Structure 1
Amino acid sequence: MAATLAFDVYGTLIDTHGLVAMLRDMVGERAADFSRTWRERQLEYAFRRALMQNYVPFSVCTAQALDHTCAFYGTPLSMAWRAALLDAYRTLPAFGDAADGLAQLRAAGFKLYAFSNGTADAVRTLLDAAGVGGLFLDIVSTDDLRSFKPSPAVYSHFLRAAGATGAETWLVSSNPFDVIGALSAGWRAAWVKRSPEALFDPWGVSPTATVADLRELAAAIAP
């Protein structure tokens, strides 16, 4: 039976730091640091809201994280710049290996799903803008449960939505927290280590497979 592959979207298929050039026009040489802080705060807000059961859509976490980052760096943005950034975030670029890697996996018979903290509409917009939307069987969003990864409930929700079992399902993510969440839920998981400097959390668990590029994935998870 062909394995089911659940692809994280933000940071795995889609480059969450794809707005650094745009940020450089706004905040200057601190653009890369600004982008990293924005992403870290976005995820922190999602984690905290899941724990508190105080849900808002991921786009709200993104906007509030942007506001915090502006305050942190002392770089207030005009309403026009803020709106432009958040609008650009809806069509962030894909990583260079995404289209080829996904096409290869689909041709090999794997069942591909997008699995994201973003709402289904937001994820569809991202994937279509990146030219890879048509490669997935469906989009499964944690928004359906009004929660976020790595809550155990969202991994169970994915299995129900995809009609899959944990034993036959792989999470594919560049985010260690997501990989650990899937492993804890009884899945297998591939960590996409997108840079040599990337670190995996020392929690006493390891990814089932580690790849540097999505084009390596089919060989890494072949039975």
Structure 2
Amino acid sequence: MPPTLAFDVYGTLIDTHGLIPLLGEMAGEETAPVLSRIWREKQLEYSFRRALARDYVTFATCTRQALDYACATLGVRLTPAERDSLLERYRTLPAFPEVPGALARLQDSGARLYAFSNGTREAVEQLLRAAGIRDAFLDVVSVDAVSSFKPDPAVYAHFLAQAGARADRTWLVSGNPFDVLGADHAGWHTVWVQRDAAQVFDPWGHEPEQVVSDLNGLTRLATTWG
């Protein structure tokens, strides 16, 4: 059975800080990076909290509520039109520059490529198509089907069922340490995409099997998946 590569989407393939230039126009250039960081941190925190509380809403709702929190924290007053524009643009965030080429090379390696995301299937399909990378994947697997979020063990079991894959032949590729740890707990192989050299992996006593600085590094690892 060829190896299965499950790619996280937000923060791994797609740049979640891709709206900083637009945020700069609305909130000021100095505020924009801080606003983007708080927005992303709260988006993930809300998904964790809702999964634990079994109070599921879609990832888009977490995103909207996190934006409202970030703006309130920094005293940024968006008009309704600006808020709507940001949320609409979030549906078409850009891919990181090396992603299209790296995915094309990985397709040639014989591995089975899937997108695996907290976003709904519809949202992820739109995001990948807008970035021009949807055709790289056999399918999109969303946590929405089990009404929870990563790193709930149920979502990793759901992926295996949907992809017809075995844990010991599946690699998670993610830029998010919590996702890597969740997949490791589920018995998967793991690759951490450490795009920021200053980012620290959580010291939980479980390290990713491989660390790469971007997706180009994956093509150099393809022989280890055999």
TM-score interval, normalised by the smaller of the two chains: over 0.9
Aligned to 1:140: 141
Aligned to 2:10: 10
Distance 2:36 2:25 in 1: 13
Give the CA RMSD over aligned residues. 0.7
1:201-220 mapped onto 2 (5 Å cutoff): 201-220=202-221
Report Cα offsets for 1:28-52 as digits up to 9, x if no partner: 1110010000000000000000000
Distance 2:66 2:99 in 1: 26
Aligned to 2:168: 167
Letter in 1 for 2:110: G
Contact 2:109 2:222 in 1 (8 A): no
Aligned to 2:126: 125
Distance 1:51 1:169 in 2: 25
Distance 1:201 1:102 in 2: 27
How far the C-alpha of 1:221 sits from its partner, in A, is 4.5
How far the C-alpha of 1:218 sits from its partner, in A, is 2.7
The structure-2 alpha-carbon separation of the partners of 1:190 and 1:221, relative to structure 1 and needing over 3 Å to count, comes to farther
Matched, 1:24 2:29: no
Contact 2:5 2:172 in 1 (8 A): yes
Report Cα offsets for 1:152-194 as digits up to 9, x if no partner: 0000000000000100000000000000000000000100010
Letter in 2 for 1:164: A
Deviating beyond 3 angstroms after TM superposition, the runs of 4 or more aligned structure 1 residues are: none
Letter in 1 for 2:36: S
How far the C-alpha of 1:208 sits from its partner, in A, is 0.8
Distance 2:56 2:196 in 1: 32
Contact 2:8 2:174 in 1 (8 A): yes
Letter in 2 for 1:152: P
Q: Secondary structure at the match of 1:222?
A: helix
Aligned to 2:186: 185
Q: Secondary structure at the match of 1:90?
A: helix
1:53-132 mapped onto 2 (5 Å cutoff): 53-132=54-133
How far the C-alpha of 1:219 sits from its partner, in A, is 2.1
Letter in 2 for 1:63: R
Report Cα offsets for 1:49-84 as digits up to 9, x if no partner: 000000000000000000011100011211000000
Report Cα offsets for 1:72-108 as digits up to 9, x if no partner: 0011211000000000000000001110111111011
Distance 1:82 1:146 in 2: 26
Structure 1 unaligned segments of length 5 or more: list them. Answer: none
Distance 1:76 1:65 in 2: 14
The alignment's TM-score, normalised by the length of structure 2, stands at 0.97
Identity of aligned residues (%): 57
How far the C-alpha of 1:195 sits from its partner, in A, is 1.5
Aligned to 1:154: 155
Q: Secondary structure at the match of 1:198?
A: coil
Matched, 1:176 2:177: yes
Q: How many residues align?
A: 223
The alignment's TM-score, normalised by the length of structure 1, stands at 0.99
Contact 1:211 1:220 in 2 (8 A): no
Contact 1:55 1:147 in 2 (8 A): yes
Letter in 1 for 2:5: L
Structure 2 unaligned segments of length 5 or more: list them. Answer: none
Q: Secondary structure at the match of 1:25?
A: helix
